[in-house]
Each structure stands twice: as structure tokens, then as C-alpha cells.
Amino acid sequence: MSARLLSMKEAISQYVDDGDVVAAEGFTHLIPFSAGHEIIRQRKKDLILCRLTPDLIYDQMIAAGVARKLIFGWIGNPGVGSLYGIRRAVEKEQPRPLSLEEYSHFGLLSRLKAGASGLPFMHLRDYDGTDLPAVNGSIRTVECPFTGESLAAVPALRPDVAILHAQRADSSGNTQVWGLLGVQKEVAFAAKKVIVVVEEIVSEDVIRADPNRTLVPGLVVDAVVAEPFGAHPSYAQGYYDRDNDFYLGWAQTSRTAASLEAYLDEWVYGVASREEYVEKYEGELERRLKPQPNLSPPVDYGLYT
Amino acid sequence: MSARLLSMKEAISQYVDDGDVVAAEGFTHLIPFSAGHEIIRQRKKDLILCRLTPDLIYDQMIAAGVARKLIFGWIGNPGVGSLYGIRRAVEKEQPRPLSLEEYSHFGLLSRLKAGASGLPFMHLRDYDGTDLPAVNGSIRTVECPFTGESLAAVPALRPDVAILHAQRADSSGNTQVWGLLGVQKEVAFAAKKVIVVVEEIVSEDVIRADPNRTLVPGLVVDAVVAEPFGAHPSYAQGYYDRDNDFYLGWAQTSRTAASLEAYLDEWVYGVASREEYVEKYEGELERRLKPQPNLSPPVDYGLYT
Amino acid sequence: MRPASLSELMAVAAAREIRDQDVVFVGVGLPNLAVNLARRTHAPDAQLVYESGVYGARPARQPLSIGDPSLATGAIQVMPMAETFTYFLQGGRIDVGFLGAAQIDRFGNLNTTVIGDYEKPTTRLPGAGGASEISWLARRTVILLPQKRNKFPERLDFRTSVGHHTGGGSREALGSKTAGPSRVITNLGVYGFDASSKEMELHALHPGVTLDEVRAEVGWELRVREPLETTEAPEPETLRLLREELDPKGVILG
Amino acid sequence: MRPASLSELMAVAAAREIRDQDVVFVGVGLPNLAVNLARRTHAPDAQLVYESGVYGARPARQPLSIGDPSLATGAIQVMPMAETFTYFLQGGRIDVGFLGAAQIDRFGNLNTTVIGDYEKPTTRLPGAGGASEISWLARRTVILLPQKRNKFPERLDFRTSVGHHTGGGSREALGSKTAGPSRVITNLGVYGFDASSKEMELHALHPGVTLDEVRAEVGWELRVREPLETTEAPEPETLRLLREELDPKGVILG
């Protein structure tokens, strides 16, 4: 009903099962890397991973062999190039075969929207004249009962587990986010179980002081994990910058299976937790990525007594 | 492309035409009364009025004879009782006949959602086993292309004009709102023309200092009107309270056509503008309805240079 | 302490329908009072959702409407109404919905649209509002209304919200995935629905009310469950909460 | 001042496609640079929409990705991605969309999915992302890509985004309400589409580029519009803006 405060180890072990459909979302912003690393450490397997953009987090997870299928909209390292871990899985079945189910961003977010809304499908204007419906039987059409026109339709997606990173939540899982919002709200309401990882735990009063800022209530959250820098090398608006150097360097790191595995050995298997990962950076993350403050002005909700 | 700052007289005269489909939205909160009064003063006619809850604003407009049709979800004075102006129009065709097209709240907001989204229809789980589809041909069904189940479907609604009240906007129409959000965003994106009435005009920098708070960009707004207390007897969160005494008193004021007309004569036709309306209260609104301040804490967006 | 009035009994009976941790879709007035009473007694973790888009409200005063500013200030979440209807209600996250009505029939179907002919009504009522979807989508519903013969007709003038439809498995046959009405509570007594026929049946009379008084206010041959019970009187502490803290001015309970 | 490089000419030609007050759906890199150049020259009121959910961004630095934090800080509006796609793009509010591709055919259809067989690709490309819907829903699209023969094949390995389909009225026949590709800009020249056949035709060569050089990098019999023009050289002030203010480190233009 309302979330429990857990360690990442506990949260992943209790809420992610082998074979689950897992959506670790966050569009560029707030990507839950620390949760992905724990999934790798716990050697989960046969996961069906969903994300609009798989990003480095899924490149690492797929290279580590936790997944058997990927549902996605766009595979790439934004502004940099390929995700070689995923390409090796697709092109060479290394370390194991990976099946793909692909949409566009609009199509996949429509699937999550339907899942969140308790609807069996969502319709959208897309895919006419493309080859996508021919390779994905889940892209169909529906006829408008008013105009007779045909629209694309995609089925609801209800992941077994959604994992979100956020700036803050209270210990009941009431979660607030600012900056890019991605499809965070949709995936949280669509999923059967939800893990929220936050930069900081705040008191319920902080949440109640700005209720329009709340992304999801604790009602839909199962576990809250507090892990500062848990989104690195992605970012948390106002807390730390995107580590663009890491993203640029990943082109090299991921280029061969050996170099990617060496990274995992050192930075994933080689640490027990995000706390150790941050310590291993010896203060560099703080020094290099902390932005100057830029506070929003308050708004007045008024006291109505 | 971006809005112009106009007086209410100019905005209504330029953007509301006889026969238009008009949606003056705001769910309890931020109901644009001052715009409704100006529509009455300009003696617009044959309007098709849409609102989830017609509220006192449409009771007054319909009693003044500006409308020929009402599209709605629930007609009433919330927590008080009937809207007698609308009942007289429906039950006795006074001052003129009013045709009704009714949905539920969910149904009507789904129509706006479709309109905002560029979709011809929206589907929802509702109306099975009820008499509503029998009296409203715009409630139909659509079959899910995946599960085969039948769902209710309603057509997109694209009002000619949407009128919103908001706490603040800049002079280009970039608009921010807090407190209850109703269907304000949906109706603004659904409508062909949009008038935004605000408590205060702020600089663009105020908007840019908290971009997650923005309801609609100036891109979709045609006219901005600055009118403090423009939502009275409805309210603007943090600016003034709902005038519950007015709502309670309306049961009596609206009980007969004569007493309702006397009200319009004094408070609508009898003043030239919202400014005069507020002056006529001689400071009472300020004294009686101003809440104590209750500021939201800032959040840090960070400076990324 | 004076014994509970009939409207107080109605509030107490409604509060008993709330289980701890229920998520309740609620309007103002009596349902709001009932949920708050439940939260103060046996269901501290029950959560309120208002269709106006508020979750976890903590109002500093009794709200007159579901859109009162006191519901937004200090809430856990204030969201667009579309999300309340799609993510909460249609998304299957509402355990209990409270409904009122101008008319109810023996299967718990409700009329809030018109009295008389639809095209030429003698009384135009508010219409569906959120009722048709709450009745269809909340896991169960509780219906509160005053007991009057013309409000309990043999046939509704209009079916705004579907309850158990024509009884038996007919609601399920329409495609419903939810249980429909579980209780009807009036100022005279408490009703349930027979498990197989889904017809309304009287379970309990409020203290001091007779079966004949109830029958006089029902427009069909009323089923009565045996043994017919008497609504349990509230604890003194419950009455004190109602009278001194939750509705001190008697705005709702008169 | 040294004359414009081919990549600078590409940026300038792209900027010329933006009209004042256009609402542009844009990615990072060259399209972003082109829109910012247009805003600094002839189209000060052009507005940028990023599919990441940002309207009216005013970044204090060159963003590496469309999800850069500098796009959120100081923007006019940051919204859920679903709203960008439904209210802006599908709602018909985008005037111009910029697209890149691994392959383009003579009708402006694009492949960003695979090279080789779909099931056993030699190269797995990123996939559709926002491209299929931008191509279908923006009022017009401008396509930017480097000119290479294997990127301009007779037949696409996969059709990810539909341009003018099979030419003529075929896009409209599919149900499209938008114009489709209006320009293709490469490092060698600028193309339009014939009004009736909708086949791509070369309109202009960048200064110093020959028609034979272009033909060598196109996999079909290329149509050339007469008279074939030469891309107009940018004003010195335009070059200065590009070199000194918009891309001072040469991150995008090399």
C-alpha cells in the first residue's frame, strides 16, 4: 500500500525475478544505473527489458547476460553513436541471443500509457507506409467509430517491475521529480511493482508543501531506495550533471566484449553497492559534476482554514 | 504564434463569435467568471457551451440567453444543489430552449483529450448497461484489436474557443497554474483559439525559473487578459478563497428568473469590467477571501554551463 | 450522551464499510465524513482520492465542494483530472466508491439524470458526473441516500449508473471486472445484495426503526435477510468524534 | 575570412529552411545548430521543441544530447514526453521536423533500422526513435545526411519512416495530412522533390562540387532540376556567428 525503505540489494532481490518484464526508465535524465548494476551483480536472467532508449544501462545489462529480449524505441548512445554491447548480442548473439521488439518512441510510450490507464490498447498516428508493422505483430490498426479512418494501435504494456530514479521521496514512496519527466509517471502506473531510487529521503511535509510537484504517490510504490549519485553517469537535475565524458568514453569502453567486461569487473562486480562505487571515484563526481544552485521561486498555495 | 495582451472587452470581441463552441473551463478552481460576464455584456448568442460542470458561470450565461446548447458532465451547484437558471432553460425553455448533450466527467474529458491529441476519438471503460448511449449518439463503441473486448468511444471535441483563468502568465501567454488542474491543459490544446485570464502578468524570467510549472506555452494562446479577482466567486489558489457564501446564496439568487436577472442587472450589466466589479465590493473580496501565505519550498534546477 | 441520531447512524454505518488501507474515491458531505471517521477509528491508513485530482488531502477545514482550495494545500499529490480517472479509477486502484442518487432500483442501478421523460423532464437532475464510471470501475461501491418511496421505485426513470444491472450474472456479462454495489445505507437501515440473485435485501434496521416503516418507503416487494439485525449503536467515543471534532457545527449531520 | 566548408554550407542551407515563427521539432547536432543560426539571423521567433519534453529551451551550453540538463534549466516548459508527442506533434503544432538517416531512397523514405536482412542484420542501426512519427506528422520535414552511394540506394534495406512513399499521390493515399519531405541537404548539395512525381531532384550544388561527384554518390538515375543552381555562399556575418558563437569549438562542424 505504501512503500518500504529498503537497501538496493533487498529491493532487487525481493522485487525482480528471473524472466520478469523490467522497465528501468528515465529519458536521458534520472536513469537508474545503480539498480541496473545491482541486477547484474545478482545475476538475474532471462529478463525482458523495456526502455524507450536502452542507453548505456541496458548496454551493460545485456552485455552482462541478464536479458533475453529487448522492447525499445531507439538504440544508441545519444549524440555519440552505437551501443556495442547490444549490437554484439543482436549481430553475433554474444554473450547470448537477444530478441528485439521495436516500436518508435511514440509507439512505446503509447503502450505504457495504455498500461497505466487500464486500457487494452492505445491508438496513434504512426507507421503507415513503413516496414515496422511487418516485423512487429503488435502494431495493428483500429478503425475510428466516428470518422471511419484507420489508426495504428499498440497493446498495453504492463511491466512486472518499473524502476525509477527521482530527486526525492518520503519514506512512504511519495515521489517528486523536476527537470525532464520522460515517461516516468506512465511506467510507474503501468507496472505491477515499482522501485523508486532517490537522491534523498525527505519528510512527508516537504512533499505536502508542493503537491503539484509529486510524480507518483506511495500508493503505487513498493520499495524506496536512497542512493545519492545513483543515476550516474546519467544525471539528477539540480544534484549533478550528466557525465558526458563517460558517455563519450563508452564508445571506446564498449567497443570490444573484453573491454566492456573489464569495465563491469571493475565498476559493477568490483563494488558491493553504489556507495562503494561513489567512494571509488574519490570525490571526483562531486567535484566534476555538481552544478551551481539555481533555485525556483516559491509559489503560494495559501492557508485555507 | 504567441499571445497578445488585450483587455477583456477586446479579447471577447475578437475571439468569441456568435454560434461558437466555447469551453470556459476550470474545475471548481480558476473558473473564468470575468470572461463569462463579458460574454453576457456583449450579448453573444447561439453559443454551444461546454464544461465538465457548468457551475454558476454557465447558469448565469444561460439565464442571460447567450447559449443554445450545453455539452456537460454534471450540472449542479457543488455541495449546494440545483442550478435553477439551467433548469428553467431545460424544463421551461426560459429564456430560450437549451439542448443538452451529456456525458460523464470521464467521457467529456476524454473528448477533450482526443481533441488535444489530434486523435478522432478516445476510448474508455464506461457506460455499459446505462441509458446514456441511447440518448447520446456520440457515445459509441470500439473493439480492441488485441483482446477483442468492446470499449466505449467518444469523439474528439475541438472547441472554437477555450477560456482559462490562471494565476500568472507572461505577456506572450506562457501560463503557470498550481492547485487543482482540472482539464485546463487538455482544453487549451484542444481548442482552436485560447484566451487566458490571469491574476498577474509576470516577466518571462519568472516562467523560465520553474518550467515544470508551465501549463501551456504562449504558442497555443491567442490573448492574455490581466484581471485580478477575475475568477471570483470561484478562486485562485494562493490569491483568494472560493466565495462559498456566494455559492450558498446562489441557491436563493437563482431561484426565480426575476431574482437571477436582478443579479445580472446589478453585477454584470451594471458594471463595465471586472475592475468595476471588484471596486463595487469596496475591498470586501480582499478582506474576506485573502488567505494567509503558504509558500512552496524552492527546488534546485541547477545552472549547467 | 444522547443516543445516535438517524443521520449519525448512517455516517457510522458508512464508516464501517471502509477497511484499513482502502483507497476511497469520495465526494464531500456524508461520504467524506464517513471516511474521516473510519480513519480516526479502525482504518487509519485508508486513503482518499477526490475526482478533482487530489490524493492524500489533509484539509484544515470541512470542504464545501470537492474542489475546495483546502484540499490542494497540503495534499500528497494534485494532478490533472484525466489522471485521476485513467490512472486511479480505470487503472483499477480504487477499492471503494461512494455514490448518492435520486433513485435506486432493486439491483442497485442508479438514476441521477432526470425525473420524468428524458426529453421533457419534470425535474432535470445533475447527470452522471463521475457516477457512471465510479459505479463501473471501483472495486465495490457503497450507496448512501435518504429512504423515500419515490427514490426506491420499481423502475428507474433513467439508468445513469449500472449496479447489478438486471441481477444474477448480468453485470459480469456486460464485461464488468468489479463487484458493483456492496451496500446501500439509508436513514432507516442497511442493505446488502443477495450473492446469487444480486437483489437488494435489508440486513439491518437502525435502532427504533420498524420493518413496516421501511417497507412503506420501498417501491417493490422488499427482500429481508433473516435474521434481520439492528444496526449496532456506535461507541461513545465514535459519537464524540463525530459531534466534537469531525462535524462540530452539524453542517453535515444536522 | 576563409570560405565556407561543406559542413558549414550544409548548416547554412538547413537554416534557410526555417521560416520565422516556425515551430521546429529538433534533435541535437547539426539540426540544432541550424535552427539556432536561423534564430540569430532571419527567423528570431522560430521555436524549438525537443522530443525529450522541452519547449522554449535556452541552454547555456551546447547540449550533447536532447536530454541535456541545460535544456531544462531556463526553458519555457518542461512536460512529460507523452505530451510532446500527442499535443505538439500529433496535435499538428509542428511546422518542421529534421531527420537524419542511414539510407534514403528517391522518394525520401528513410532507413534507420538495419543494414542487411532484418532478422540477421549486418549492421543493427538505432531504429525509429521519433523518426517515423516526425516524418508522418510534422507539416514538412528536412533531411540532413552525408552523401554516400550506399546511403542513397535504389532500394532501402528497411523502410523506417515514410517520405513520399512510392511517389505521386501515394503518401496522401496512405492518409497523410502533411506534406512530407521538402528538402534533402547533404555535404554536396541541396535537393527538392518534383511537385507531381515527388521524386527527389537536385536543385543546387555546393560551391566547388561537380554534378559528376554527386551522381557518383547516388544509387539511382538522379533527376536534376534545370537550371541547376549553386548553393548561395553565406554572408560573412553568418559564418562569423557559426564559427565564433554557435560552434566555437567546432564540435559539430569539425
pLDDT at B98: 97
Selection from B23, B74, B65 nearest residue B45 by Cα: B65
* D1 found inside a domain: no
Residues B136 and B273 grouped into a single domain: no
Domain boundary among A92, A120, A155: A155
Stretch D35-43: mean pLDDT, rounded? 93
* A303 found inside a domain: no
Residues B87 and B186 grouped into a single domain: yes
Indicate the residue of C71, C82, C128 with minimum beta-carbon distance to B74: C128
**Tens digits of per-residue pLDDT, B250-276?**
999 999 999 999 999 999 999 999 999
- CB B24, CB B51: distance < 8 Å: yes
**Do B and A have ≥3 inter-chain CB pairs under 8 A?**
yes
* D99 found inside a domain: yes
Selection from A51, A62, A66 nearest residue A187 by Cα: A51
pLDDT at C253: 85
Stretch B44-51: mean pLDDT, rounded? 98
* Catalytic residue IDs of C: 51
Residues A52 and A196 grouped into a single domain: yes
* A305 found inside a domain: no
Q: What is the domain count for chain C?
A: 1
Q: Range of D83's domain?
A: 6-246
Catalytic residue flag (residue D51): yes
Indicate the residue of C21, C72, C90 with minimum beta-carbon distance to A118: C90
Q: What is the domain count for chain B?
A: 2
Burial A99-127 (b: 16+ CB within 10 A, else e): ebbbbbbbbbbbbbbbbbbbbbbbbbbbb
Tell me if residue D2 falls in helix, strand or coil: coil
Residues A132 and A268 grouped into a single domain: no
Strands D200-205, D223-230: pairing is: parallel
Amino acid at the residue D152: F
* B301 found inside a domain: no
pLDDT at C127: 96
Q: Range of B141's domain?
A: 106-155
* B215 found inside a domain: yes
Q: Who contacts A281 (Cβ-Cβ below 8 Å, separation ≥6)?
A: none
- CB C186, CB C167: distance < 8 Å: no
What is d(CA D84, CA C152) in angstroms, rounded to the nearest whole number?
49
Indicate the residue of B103, B130, B244 with minimum beta-carbon distance to C162: B130
What is d(CA B254, CA B77) in angstroms, rounded to the nearest whole number?
11
Residues B29 and B114 grouped into a single domain: no
What's the number of CA atoms in the CB half-sphere (13 Å) around residue A231?
A: 30
pLDDT at C27: 78
Please, what is the angle between helix B55-63 and helix B33-41, to 10°? 0
Tell me if residue A154 falls in helix, strand or coil: strand
> What is the reported pTM?
0.97
Question: Are the beta carbons of C61 and A214 separated by less than 8 Å?
Answer: no
- CB D125, CB D114: distance < 8 Å: yes
State which residues of chain A have pLDDT below 70: 1-2
Q: Residue D252 — pLDDT band, cuts 50, 70, 90?
A: confident
Q: Cell digits for B218? A: 504562449
Domain boundary among A155, A173, A195: A155
* C253 found inside a domain: no
Q: Residue D159 — pLDDT band, cuts 50, 70, 90?
A: very high
Residues A44 and A130 grouped into a single domain: no
What is d(CA A107, CA D42) in angstroms, rounded to the nearest whole number?
35
Question: Are the beta carbons of A294 and D73 separated by less than 8 Å?
Answer: yes
Residues B98 and B142 grouped into a single domain: no
**Tens digits of per-residue pLDDT, B54-104?**
999 999 999 999 999 999 999 999 888 899 999 999 999 999 999 999 999
pLDDT at B208: 98
Question: Are the beta carbons of B129 and C51 separated by less than 8 Å?
Answer: no
Residue B1 has pLDDT above 90, yes or no: no
* C36 Ramachandran zone, left/alpha/beta (phi>0; psi -120 to 50): alpha
Residues A247 and A123 grouped into a single domain: no
Ramachandran angles phi, psi of D37, nearest 5°: -65, -45
pLDDT at D249: 84
Chains in contact with D via at least 3 Cβ–Cβ pairs below 8 Å: A, B
What is d(CA A57, CA A198) in angstroms, rounded to the nearest whole number?
17
- CB A26, CB A58: distance < 8 Å: no
Q: In what helix (H) or strand (E) does residue B164 lie, and over which residues does it extend?
A: strand B161-169
Q: D96 forms bridges with which residues in the sheet? A: D24, D140
A120 touches chain C (CB under 8 A): no
Residue B19 has pLDDT above 70, yes or no: yes
* C147 found inside a domain: yes
What is d(CA C69, CA C64) in angstroms, rounded to the nearest whole number?
10
Chain A residues touching residue C69 (CB < 8 angstroms): 302, 304
B116 touches chain D (CB under 8 A): yes
pLDDT at D106: 98
Residues A16 and A84 grouped into a single domain: yes
Residue D82 has pLDDT above 90, yes or no: yes
- CB A106, CB A124: distance < 8 Å: yes
Question: Are the beta carbons of D69 and B302 separated by less than 8 Å?
Answer: yes
**pLDDT above 90: percentage of residues in chain D:** 88
- CB C38, CB C122: distance < 8 Å: no
pLDDT at D29: 81
Running DSSP on this structure, what letter comes out for residue A271? -
Residue B2 has pLDDT above 70, yes or no: no
Strands C96-99, C77-78: pairing is: unpaired
Residues B270 and B137 grouped into a single domain: no
* D254 found inside a domain: no
Q: What angle do CA A282, A285, A287 make, to 5 degrees?
A: 90
Which CATH number does the domain housing residue B97 bear?
3.40.1080.10
Nearest-Cα distance to chain A for B14, in Å, is 31
Indicate the residue of A87, A129, A241 with minimum beta-carbon distance to D174: A129
* D189 found inside a domain: yes
**Tens digits of per-residue pLDDT, B183-213?**
999 999 999 999 999 999 999 999 999 999 9
Residues A170 and A52 grouped into a single domain: yes
pLDDT at A223: 98
Residues A166 and A266 grouped into a single domain: yes
Question: What's B215-258 look like in SS3?
Answer: EECHHHCCEEEECCCCCCCCEECCCECCCHHHHHHHHHHCCCHH
* A301 found inside a domain: no
Q: Cell digits for B293? A: 501565505
Nearest-Cα distance to chain C for B274, in Å, is 22
Q: Cell digits for D228? A: 541547376
Tell me if residue C97 falls in helix, strand or coil: strand
Least confident interval from A237-251, B228-242, C233-247, D212-226? C233-247
* A84 found inside a domain: yes
* D251 found inside a domain: no
Q: Compute the radius of gyration of chain D from its Cα atoms.
A: 18
* B279 found inside a domain: yes
* A269 found inside a domain: yes
pLDDT at A78: 87
What is d(CA B129, CA A170) in angstroms, rounded to the nearest whole number?
42
Stretch B279-293: mean pLDDT, rounded? 97
Which CATH number does the domain housing residue C23 bear?
3.40.1080.10
Please, what is the angle between helix A55-63 and helix A244-253, to 10°? 30
Residue A300, class by beta-carbon neighbours within 10 Å (0-12 exposed, 13-18 middle, 19+ buried)?
Answer: middle
- Report mean pLDDT in 10-residue bins for chain C, 254 residues: 91 96 88 90 94 93 90 97 98 96 97 95 94 97 96 98 98 97 97 98 97 98 97 94 89 82
* C1 found inside a domain: no
A46-85 residues touching C, CB cutoff 8 A:
none
- CB A155, CB A114: distance < 8 Å: yes
- CB B206, CB B168: distance < 8 Å: yes
A159 touches chain D (CB under 8 A): no
Amino acid at the residue A68: R
